[in-house]
Amino acid sequence: MLLSEYFEKAQGRGVMATADSAGRPTAAVYARPHFFGEDSVAFIMADRLMHYNLQSNPHAVYLFMESGEAYAGRRLYLTKTREEVNSPLIEELRRRCPAEGGKPESTRYLVHFSVDRVLPLVGDGE
């Protein structure tokens, strides 16, 4: 199954983790990735710590845990490739996948990543 198909069908929650240039980590709940090919994803971000960290350290991990009792899901190891500020594409993506709750932000970023590695939620994939 293609990774994009997996995320279209799977139900669950995602968490993204980044670290700043000094290695101080942060993590936050994030919606599913938006796919631009099988090796390219994007996330909509507000002007907060997660986005700030990516300015000095382009690496991130997105962990997706499927709903249910089992420890099933995926870990995506990512590298930032570019970003768009207040792009019209953000509103188009939000219409397809409306955000739950949250307050509207004045500045939104569409941050694009290359998918460097995909592992199962638990284990090393071998």
User: Domain 3-120 is of which CATH architecture?
Assistant: Roll (2.30)
- Write the pLDDT tens digit of every residue in 45-75: 999 999 999 999 999 999 999 999 889 999 9
CA distance 89 to 64: 24
Condensed to tens digits (0 to 9), the pLDDT of residues 72-90 reads 999 999 999 999 998 888 8
Full-model pTM: 0.88
Contacts of 12 (CB under 8 A, 6+ apart): 64, 65, 66, 67, 73
Report yes or no: 30 and 99 within 8 Å, Cβ to Cβ.
no
- Backbone φ and ψ for 25, nearest 5 degrees, come out as -85, 160
